[in-house]
Every structure is written in C-alpha cells, then in structure tokens.
Structure 1
Amino acid sequence: MSSEPTVSPATLLAFLQDPASYPYSPDRIEIVQTHISYVALAPPYVYKVKKAVDLGFLDFSTPARRRHFCEEEVRVNRRLCPDLYLGVVAITQEADGLRFDGPGPPVTYAVKMCYLPDDGFLHRRLQQGTLSQDDLARVVDTLADFYRQTPRPEVAEWGRIERLRINTDENAEQTRAVVGDLIAPPAYEALRWYNDWFYTHRARLLNERRVGGHLVDGHGDLRLEHIHLTPERVCIYDAIEFNERFRFLDVAADMAFLAMDLDVHGRPDLARFVVRRLAERRRDPALYDLVDFYKCYRAYVRGKVEMMRSREDEVPPAEREASRDRARRYFRQALRYAVAGSQPLVLVVMGRTGSGKTTQARALADVLGWAHVSSDRIRKAQAGVPLHRRGSSEERARLYAAERTDATYAALTRIAVERAEQGQGTVLDATFGDRHRREALREALRARGVPWVFVELEAAPEARRARLQARETASDVVSDARLEDVDRLDARYDPPDALEDAVHLIARADAGVEATTRDILRAIIPLEPGRAATP
C-alpha cells in the first residue's frame, strides 16, 4: 500500500484560491480547470498543477509522476517560449496546511510561469477583430524554423500507419460510451470508416512523409489560446509533455490543429492562410493532401477532451453542460472534415415523391450540423401559404405552376450559394426531377468553385405509397403531394442519368433513416468532394 502523501481536490483548490497561500500578494486569483490540470492565474505569476488522474494516455496518479511531468513541461516548452517557464515548485503538507516549497513532504507540484497579458493571446485578438495575416505569418514562420530539426528515428516511427492507428483507435474507444448522446451513431461509424479508408488509400503518401523528414518533435496542442504575441516576440506554449506520441507528428498534423481552431472560430480564410504559408515556407505541396485528415483528427480530439471535462464532478454543472455542447460541435466538425474537407459542400437530397427525401435530408443536416433547406417550405413561404395547410385543387394548381416552381428552385440555389460564400454547408431537399433545374444549380455552384453531391433516394413502390397514404392523416406534413398524385408526378420525373458518378449517388431508403444516413456518409467520403484544401 502506498505511503505517499495525498491531498484532496477540494483542499488543493481552496489552497490555490487563497491569496495568503502565495509568497507575494497577488491582486487577484482566477482558477481555470481543464480535464487534467488546475491553473491559478495570480499575476504576476501563474501556477499550473496537474490533477491526480490516470486516463490511459497520461498518468499523473502519483506525486513522483506529477513532478516528472512538470519538469518535462518546462523542458518541452522552453523550446518555443524560454522566458515564460520559471521552473517547478513543490506544494508541501505542513502542520497548518499546504504551502509552496515548504519543509514538509511534497503532496504535488506546480509549474511556475510568468503571467501573460490577456490582449496578446490569439483567441482574444480574434474575438476583438484584430488578428491579422501578419500576426499569423509571424507564428507560422516561427514554427517553420522550429520544424527544421535533425531527423530522429524514434520520432519518424510515429509516422507508421500502425502507430497512427493507435491514436485514432484510442479516440474511438474512449468516446464509445457517448455514442447516441454527444455523437450520433452514423457519425461515429462514418468517422471510424473514414480513418480506415484514409490509411488504406493514402498509405503511400503517409510512408513518403515518414521517410521524407516531415515528422518532428512538435507542439501537439497548437491552438489559438496557446499562442501569445507582443511586438518583440512570439510565444508558443503549453506543448504536450505527458505523452510523446501526441508530440511526435507530421508538421501537417501540428498545423492542422491551428487551422481547425481558426475554422471553428469562423475564420476559414485565416485557416487557409496558415496552411498555405507553412506549405510555401517548407516547399511542401503534399501538406494539402493531409491537412483535412488531420483537421478531422484534431476536431475529434477536442470533442473527446470536452466530453471528459463534462464528466468531472468537481466542474460546476453549468460548465459541464457547456462542455457537452462544445463536444457535440467538435464531433460534428470532425464529421464535416471527413465528408467535405475544408470546403462548404452542397448536398442535394433528391428523388421521386414519397421516397423519404425530407426525413433523410433532415437527418443528414442534423448529423452534419448544416442547414436543411426544403423546397416545400420555400414554395409555401413565397406564396404566403401556411406550411401545414393543403389547399383546394385550384389553389394547388396555382402553387405548383411552372413559374412558382422556377421561383422555388431559384431560391434554393440562391440560399445554397449564399451559405457557401459564408463557408457553410447546406442540405437541399427537393425532387430535382427536372434536368434544367439540376443544371442551373450546378452552374451556379461551379461558377463559385463550390462542390456538390446529388444523393438520389430510391424506395420500393409499396414503401412510397405507404408514406403518401400516411400523409392523409398527419398534421405536420408540409408537402401537398398525396397518393392520388404519384402517377402524374412520376411521369414528370426525369432521372439524373446524365450526372457524373463523382457527383451522383443512389441510396436506398428502405433500411431505415439511421442506416441510410451512415451509408450515404460512407459513400460520399471516397468522392472527396471538398478535397481542394489548396491555395
């Protein structure tokens, strides 16, 4: 049985929150918790204390291990920000309580750092609208110089596919318990499938990176909040110290974290800039072929971290709930990278009346976190007709006249284009049974460089008729099409046979919405519709 001294989280937090604990008089104290540490902001210094946890990929369970990794944190981070890290101090148990560097036995340790002014952090500059390409150029140039390291065999080993799988498989296993809660089952399955697909189809490229000197002892957690700028220096801190396999990585994987963070904060233009800048500085065009895969990985990692934080009892309930929301957003972001890369994809769910388009389009929009734009809703909104009201045959004839239908599809196209220009994906839900209307959408998207995929839903005739029959007694149906209309509408339907296979998928809607969603996501991934993560 271990005789090492211990301290409860509540006692440690009370100590860090007490101004009398410090060997100076801090003006204020703010405690920030992550899933693995307590950070006491007590200007002019900061004390970072590792939680006594063992999460598998890190083990801070004993005072000796916490001391070792505090020392590692100082060593690793002095590479990119030498003046920030002052050293390691013990927190000791005394007769009257805890003390920094007292004569009693150490119960844990803290990394002592200088306090950095808040306005220099990149995430603050982004919030204030002052983050510029010049700022990011300084950051990328610093990293490009840092990445010029003498190749080390033990680092390059982590470029082997079987080593890369350790990280992605671990992520999947550690998030399995929240499938159906924080991550939708089709998303979870599609993301696992995407990793396997990438390892298989990009094996040659990954091996070239490994032997070509592109793996480095890098940072491993390169986010906006870990970068601080002043006119005199670039300080990149909080690199991963607790597990070398998260720090021994391709430069593309390191930069992908920063690019993903910029995407999530609504600046895909700056994300493209940092990727392009690094590729140019390193003369590394292959970086573009990897960055979306690594962005997907990084977003999933952030989802996992927020998931873990949401399950910590010592975190206040409101913060746990906020972490749950962030986890959902990161998992959706990971799926979007897998399906569409860094581009705003337009996903068109089309097919004959009664094939289940609206239900399926809504499910895809929900799992991807995109807008669901329905032709039925637009048509009635334009005409000023209540959504769930089915008018007389004369009213329906006017509502579905050619000019009304043209206006409906024009609005669908306009919305898809506008959202794409804002960097957002869209799921369009319409029959698209007319070749000219399909081509009008394609031309509008092609002119702006926006990728698209048509997903044509097919269902057995009896299933279609059953859906249409069910509409007769449902109160929440927007579409006016009923069983009596099916033969007439089918006769008008022009199958999209002329669409290239690269933008046209056929999906069976008979297996259930969740299974069909999974199958559609898997079918889109190999098409790589948004692969153009290029300059």
Structure 2
Amino acid sequence: MTTDPYEAQRPIIDALSSPETYPPRDGVDSVEVRETHSAVVFLAGNRAYKMKKAVDYGFLNFTTLRNRRFFCYQELFLNQRAAPEIYREVRAVIPNGRGGYRIVAEENPAAVEYLVQMVRLPEDMMLNTRLERDEVTPEMMAELGRIVANVHVNAETNDRIAAAGDLEGVRFNVEENFEQTEAYIGRTISQETYDIVSNYARRFMRDRESLFHSRSQNGFVRDTHGDLHAQQICIEANGRISVLDCIDFNERFRYGDVAWDVGFMAMDLEARGHANLARAFVDGYLEQADDPGMPELLPFYQCYRAYVRGKVEGFRLDQPDLSDEEAAAVKERAEGYFRLAEQYARTMIGPNIVLIGGLMGTGKSTLAEGLARERGHTYISSDVVRKELAGVPEDERHFVEWNTEIYSPEMTERTYDELARLAADALQQGRSVIVDGSFSNAQQRKRFTDLSSTTGVPLLMVICELSEEETRKRLDARVEEGGVPTDGRWEIYAAQRDSFQPPDELPAASVLRLDTSASPQSVIDTLVSHLDANTLE
C-alpha cells in the first residue's frame, strides 16, 4: 500500500496551524490557513509562510522534498524581481524533539519541509478586493503598468526563452487550448464561440507570422510573471504596489511575449468591468516600455488569456465533489470568460468603425454602450469627450442655449477632432471602435470617412430615429433623473432637428437607419444581427 505524500504532510500542516510552533518573539496569537491546489499558506503575525503540497499534476511535481526545496527557491528568486521587500527567504521545518516541529534556517540538515517566508500583506488591500470597493484609480493602474514594464525590461531572455515565444511555441499553446476545450462544447462554450475564436486565432497567427518572429528575435520574449491578474496585486494604503505569486513551477507557462502578461492584466480588469483601468494600465506600461509593436499584439493575448480562464474554470466541472450550486457558479464563470474571448475575437475581425448618430433623446448612447458590451469594441462618447475638453465633471449639467458655451461651434469642432483622434488610436491597436455623437452634418462625418479611407477600415453610419412624442418623454425623464453626461433637453431639440443634415454623402450600404422605439436590448440585437449579416470586412 502506497502512502499519499500529501497526507504525510498533515502533521506538519497541523503544527504550522498552531501559534505554539512559532517563536515567542514573533508574537503570534493566532494562525490563519489558506489552501490552494498546490500550496498551503500560514498567516502568522506579520509574516506569511508558504508550503508546497506534495502533489503531482503533470504540469507541476512537488512530490519529493528535493523538488519542494528547489521550487521554494525558484519562487523566492522569481518574485523578488517585483517584490523584494515582500519575499524574504526560504526557511526549513524540523522536528522539535517533543513530537512537534519548529521553523529554522534553511540549511539545517534535519529539514523535513521547506517554506517561503514573506511579509504578510493586508488581504483587504488586494487589487481584486479594492476593485469591488471602487477604490482603484487610473493613476494606480498606470503606476502598476510602469512597475510591470520595469520588471520585464530586467527579466531574463536567451535563445531558449525566445524560442518558447516564437510562432511555433505560441501556436502549440493555442492549439492545445482548442483541443482541450472540444469536450466542453455545449457545456461551457457554444460551437459558434469556439469557431469564431479558433478561426480568429489561427488567422491572426497566419497573417502576423513576421510579427511573432521579430518580437522573438528582438528581445520581447522573456521570463515573465505568467499569471498576472488582480488577485496577485496588492496596493497598500501608503501607495506601495506589490506584484506577487508568479508562476514558479513550469517554465513553459512563464516564458512568453511580454504582451501576454500585459494582456492578462488588461483582460482581467475588463472582465471585472473596469475597461478604463485596463486602458490606464496599458498606457502606463507603454509609457515606460520601448515597445511600439505591443498594441498590434495585445488584443490577441487578451483573447488568448480569456479563453484560457474559461478553459480552466470549465475543467472544475469534472471535480466529483462540486455541489450543484458550485457547479452552476463555475459554469457561469467559464461561459463569461469564453464570451469575453469571443468579444475580443469579434472586435479584431475587421476591425471596423461604427458611428452611432441622430438627434438627442433617440437612444444613441444606450445603443452604443450596449453594442460595446456585446462586441467588446472600444466605446467613445462625444458627451464625455466634450466635458473632458471643457474641464468639467461628466455628470455636471450645463443647460445653455443652443450653440453657446461648451456647445459652441468651436467647441464642437474640437470635440469631433478629439473623437477622430481617439478612434484612430483604437484602430492602430487593431480594435473596432464605436463613436457616439449626433454626427449632424457632413463635416463631422467627414473626419471619420477620411479615417476609414486612410486606414482601409470599413465604416457604418447608424442613424437612430424616434417619434418626437417619444423623444420628448425620454428627454424630460432624463432631465429629472440626472447622473448622465448628456445635456440634451426638449427646449433645444427643435434647433438641432432643423440643422441636422442627413448622411446623403455616404453610400447607401454604409448607412443604417434604426427605429429605437423598441426595448434597448431589442434595438441592440437588431444592430448586432445587421453587423453579422453584413460583415464590414
């Protein structure tokens, strides 16, 4: 009868779960224990100790004491790159001669286990928790981006590492994902989503072969973090940002293009509903890093990372001890990640420009925001941009006469210039873009038809239409509710209506008129169906 090596660790786990195991000088009154699939963490006083479980999952093997010692040092070395003040040293566990155990220096020959000793961080300061409390600012994420860029600049690279992130290495990982998820079609991922993402990924790799090769040859494939998401980041009250818990157990999951770290973090922020923070993180990274090629590659890795997260969540459905409630939650998370991967794939198929225009109160913003959610496209609002240019809060009301103050013709020109600039930036990154504005004359639209011509990106002009009776109801309700960037109201509706110029200069195939009197989701579905049936490519 063979002994499960993890079960043999139970006496040590029990001992480390007790305050008596720790030196009196440490002042440990209680110990909190956290378990993962491969480790046990003991939170004792102002320190944290991490012990690797004696398990073998194929992609990691901690079954021997020698391996656990080696990977403790790997964890220490690799994480000191980003958080040297947090990851302190490797310690040994030895018998204390009284049936228990104690923690001593690593080199002790009586060692029966090894631990990574860290500074204990406040759990309520972890990024995922602070995001839930809406405490995270774009400035924090920009600083995180700069920190990650500095880690990448100093990370190791060599011929073996570079080969792992070249096209063949990437293709192996991507195809493995598709093979491993075939069995989950109809369970966590639809056939349509599977086809859209797999076709997009294969086409991207085929069309960007030279991009992958150049990045591999020019030092952009490095020994990265490998698992960079919100649960691995701590932002303390004093502003210190720590990047924690990189992958130490398998080089294959760590060797890759720096864009796959950046893509993971950006994807995770977007999955949590913080697209603005994702942009700030990427902008901070690019501000610090000399990496002009990353924007072209980033959406590919965001799609890849979302798909991997969906895959890993789906695997949990095969665990026999899951309750029905837990299985339903796992399934929902997996489906959400796969839908996000599809959004990334769809927004990169093209890309394209969608202008959402029409008179005030006709549902432009509701439609534009809804389409952005459905497709993952970059959303740009003229109301928000106008107030940013004017230096006023986006929800601050400015009820002024038509064509005056922040709605003067001069300010409107500045606003549409900035909309076009932001759209061009998004297109340069390979993203489809949705621009929300009235587009009430040919000159405003010309900025975008010119952008379409110079970039070769197709354009669709959507005109929202609604009866004046219903428009008035919506405008009056919006004035009462407040809390939105737009200042549209019935008193100036007629002036806009009388000056509105239909988009007759555009080809008929590039214009879609939508009756927005139905429910918002119904209107969004109509537009999505039109886009699917009339691919803009």
TM-score by length of 2: 0.61
SS at match of 2:72: helix
Residue 31 of structure 1, CA deviation: 3.4
SS at match of 2:7: coil
Deviations 1:338-373 (A, max 9, x none): 1225999999xxxxxxxxxxxxxxxxxxxxxxxxxx
Distance of aligned partners of 1:416 and 1:85 in 2 relative to their CA distance in 1, 3 Å threshold = same
Counterpart pick for 1:124 among 129, 135, 155: 129
Q: Which one-letter code corresponds to 1:147 in the other structure?
A: H
**Residue 190 (structure 1) aligns with:** 196
Distance of aligned partners of 1:132 and 1:452 in 2 relative to their CA distance in 1, 3 Å threshold = farther
Identity %: 33
Contact 1:190 1:522 in 2 (8 A): no
Residue 258 of structure 1, CA deviation: 1.2
Counterpart pick for 1:38 among 33, 40, 44: 40
SS at match of 2:260: helix
SS at match of 1:424: helix
**Residue 269 (structure 1) aligns with:** 276
Distance of aligned partners of 1:223 and 1:414 in 2 relative to their CA distance in 1, 3 Å threshold = closer
Counterpart pick for 2:263 among 252, 256, 272: 256
**Residue 52 (structure 2) aligns with:** 50
**Residue 226 (structure 1) aligns with:** 232
Contact 2:34 2:41 in 1 (8 A): yes
2:152 and 2:170 map into 1 onto residues whose CA distance is: 20
1:316 and 1:63 map into 2 onto residues whose CA distance is: 34
2:509 is aligned with 1:499: yes
1:58 and 1:173 map into 2 onto residues whose CA distance is: 21
Deviations 1:408-445 (A, max 9, x none): xx97766422425xx51279xxxxxxxxxxxxxx9968
Distance of aligned partners of 1:189 and 1:67 in 2 relative to their CA distance in 1, 3 Å threshold = farther
1:453 and 1:316 map into 2 onto residues whose CA distance is: 48
2:51 and 2:85 map into 1 onto residues whose CA distance is: 19
Distance of aligned partners of 1:119 and 1:164 in 2 relative to their CA distance in 1, 3 Å threshold = same
Contact 1:41 1:47 in 2 (8 A): yes
Distance of aligned partners of 1:61 and 1:308 in 2 relative to their CA distance in 1, 3 Å threshold = farther
Deviations 1:64-122 (A, max 9, x none): 32222122111111111112123334456789876354899766543221101234332
Residue 243 of structure 1, CA deviation: 1.4
2:127 is aligned with 1:111: no
1:413 and 1:296 map into 2 onto residues whose CA distance is: 28
CA RMSD of aligned residues (A): 4.4
Q: Which one-letter code corresponds to 2:130 in the other structure?
A: R
Contact 2:146 2:287 in 1 (8 A): no
SS at match of 1:60: coil
SS at match of 1:425: helix
Distance of aligned partners of 1:121 and 1:192 in 2 relative to their CA distance in 1, 3 Å threshold = same
Counterpart pick for 2:287 among 280, 298, 302: 280
Deviations 1:101-155 (A, max 9, x none): 4899766543221101234332233222221222222222222222223752222
Counterpart pick for 1:75 among 64, 74, 77: 77
Counterpart pick for 2:373 among 411, 424, 429: 424
**Residue 66 (structure 1) aligns with:** 68
Distance of aligned partners of 1:216 and 1:426 in 2 relative to their CA distance in 1, 3 Å threshold = closer
Q: Which one-letter code corresponds to 2:71 in the other structure?
A: F
2:22 and 2:322 map into 1 onto residues whose CA distance is: 24
The worse-fitting range, judged by mean Cα deviation, of 285-294 and 123-132 is 123-132
SS at match of 1:148: helix
Q: Which one-letter code corresponds to 2:77 in the other structure?
A: R
Distance of aligned partners of 1:445 and 1:337 in 2 relative to their CA distance in 1, 3 Å threshold = farther
2:96 is aligned with 1:145: no
TM-score by length of 1: 0.61
Q: Which one-letter code corresponds to 2:224 in the other structure?
A: G
Contact 1:171 1:301 in 2 (8 A): yes
Gaps of 5+ in 1: 348-405, 428-441, 455-496, 502-516, 528-535
SS at match of 2:89: strand
Q: Which has the higher contact order (CA 8 A, sep 6+)?
A: 1
1:523 and 1:95 map into 2 onto residues whose CA distance is: 77
2:296 and 2:287 map into 1 onto residues whose CA distance is: 14
**Residue 356 (structure 1) aligns with:** none
2:171 and 2:100 map into 1 onto residues whose CA distance is: 43
The worse-fitting range, judged by mean Cα deviation, of 264-273 and 21-30 is 21-30
Residues 465-484 of structure 1 aligned to structure 2 (within 5 Å): none
2:294 is aligned with 1:292: no
2:111 and 2:58 map into 1 onto residues whose CA distance is: 24
Residues 94-493 of structure 1 aligned to structure 2 (within 5 Å): 99-101=101-103, 108-149=113-154, 151-230=157-236, 231=238, 233-309=240-316, 311-312=318-319, 321-341=328-348, 415-420=366-371, 423-425=372-374
Contact 2:313 2:331 in 1 (8 A): yes
Contact 2:145 2:283 in 1 (8 A): no
Contact 1:183 1:328 in 2 (8 A): yes
Contact 1:94 1:104 in 2 (8 A): no
Distance of aligned partners of 1:340 and 1:37 in 2 relative to their CA distance in 1, 3 Å threshold = farther
2:132 and 2:532 map into 1 onto residues whose CA distance is: 33
Residue 36 of structure 1, CA deviation: 2.9
SS at match of 2:509: coil
2:20 and 2:275 map into 1 onto residues whose CA distance is: 45
**Residue 388 (structure 1) aligns with:** none
1:209 and 1:126 map into 2 onto residues whose CA distance is: 33
Matched residue pairs, number? 393
Residue 199 of structure 1, CA deviation: 0.9
1:298 and 1:84 map into 2 onto residues whose CA distance is: 27
Contact 2:150 2:288 in 1 (8 A): no
2:218 and 2:8 map into 1 onto residues whose CA distance is: 48
Contact 1:216 1:250 in 2 (8 A): yes
1:314 and 1:100 map into 2 onto residues whose CA distance is: 34
Q: Which one-letter code corresponds to 2:370 in the other structure?
A: R
SS at match of 2:42: strand
Deviations 1:355-399 (A, max 9, x none): xxxxxxxxxxxxxxxxxxxxxxxxxxxxxxxxxxxxxxxxxxxxx
SS at match of 2:136: coil
Distance of aligned partners of 1:293 and 1:147 in 2 relative to their CA distance in 1, 3 Å threshold = same
SS at match of 2:33: strand
Distance of aligned partners of 1:36 and 1:27 in 2 relative to their CA distance in 1, 3 Å threshold = same
